[in-house]
Amino acid sequence: MTHPSTSEAAMNQSRMTHSPMTRTVDPRTRSAHDALARGLGWFSIGLGLAEILAPRALCRALGLQGREALVQAYGAREVATGAAILMSHDPTPWLWGRVAGDALDLATLATGFEGDNPRTGTLALATVAVAGVTLADIVCVQGLTADKRPAQPGVYEYHNRSGYPHGLAAAHGAASNLAVPRDFRIPDALRPWREGRPVAGS
């Protein structure tokens, strides 16, 4: 253990002048990114339910007939992800899940442009919409990550905050004569040994 010599009493005094914060206060404690995450969670559930309940209509509109089971599976994924976002204390990993799901959706939509699909106009609109939602997902997940990013070392220097008005050296062991209450003592057999015998409890 190091025992740096400090004039900590003076430092402690100067620390007490920490200025009160005076920033504008949002009466609720959620950030814009939290609100966006919740919005995306509800969107996910809504889209998922539509995919589960009306896969045939969706596939017909996009010219993707025959993929109804796949669309229903995507719907289940959307509902599960949406519920997880809404219920989670930290939606960040679930939003990354949404981004991965978006990529899957875009890849699936891209296969619809092959061949002679008569619904390429609707398909293109759907692709643009999914790309927009993907962008929102990425903005949200990056914002949430930035919200939680720890400070860089050295930004907040608390090196003078020892809490010992008379310095660390004086504080070390200052309370070592405390009569530890009997019910707080460890058993003698577990105490350290000195000169071949366990140190007796005081």
Partner 1 sequence: MKALVWHGTADIRCDTVPDPMIEDGRDAIIKVTSCAICGSDLHLYDHFMPGMKAGDIMGHETMGEVVEVGRDNTALKVGDRIVVPFTIICGQCEQCKRGNFSVCERSNRNAALAETAFGHTTAGLFGYTHLTGGYPGGQAEYLRVPYADATHIKVPNGIPDEKLLFLSDIFPTGWQAAVQCDIQPEDTVAIWGCGPVGQMAIRSAILLGAERVIAIDRVPERLTMARAGGAETIDLNQESNVVAKLNDMTNGKGPEKCIDTVGMEAHATTSLDAIYDRAKQAVMLESDRPHVLRQMIMACRPAGVLSIPGVYGGLIDKVPFGAAMNKGLTFRMGQTHVNRWSDDLLRRIEEGQIDPSFVITHTVGLEQGPEMYRTFRDKQDGCIKVMIRP
Q: Which residues bind partner 1 (CB under 8 A)?
A: 1-3, 12, 15-16, 18, 20-21, 23, 25-31, 34, 84, 87-89, 93, 147-148, 150-166, 168, 171-176, 178, 180-181, 184-187, 189-192, 199
Tell me the closest approach of the beta carbon of residue 52 to partner 1, in angstroms: 21
Q: How many angstroms separate the CA atoms of 23 and 135, rounded?
A: 31
> Considering the complex, what minimum distance in angstroms separates the CB of residue 93 from partner 1?
8
**In terms of CB distance, is 3 or 56 closer to partner 1?**
3
Q: What is the dihedral of CA 74, 75, 77, 82, to 10 degrees?
A: 140
Nearer to partner 1, 23 or 197 (CB): 23
20 backbone φψ class: left, alpha, beta (φ>0; ψ -120 to 50): beta
Q: How far is the CB of 197 from partner 1 (least distance, A)?
A: 14
Looking at the Cβ atoms of 90 and 110, the one nearer to partner 1 is: 90
Q: How far is the CB of 103 from partner 1 (least distance, A)?
A: 22
Using CA atoms, how far apart are residues 187 and 189, in angstroms rounded to an integer? 5
* In the complex, minimum distance from the CB of residue 50 to partner 1, in angstroms, rounded to a whole number: 25
How far is the C-alpha of 8 from the C-alpha of 52, rounded, in Å?
66
Q: Which is nearer to partner 1, 118 or 152 (CB)?
A: 152
Q: Which is nearer to partner 1, 107 or 189 (CB)?
A: 189
5 burial class (0-12, 13-18, 19+ CB within 10 angstroms)?
exposed
Calculate the alpha carbon distances from 171 to 2, 67, 162, 176, 180 in Å.
13, 73, 10, 10, 18
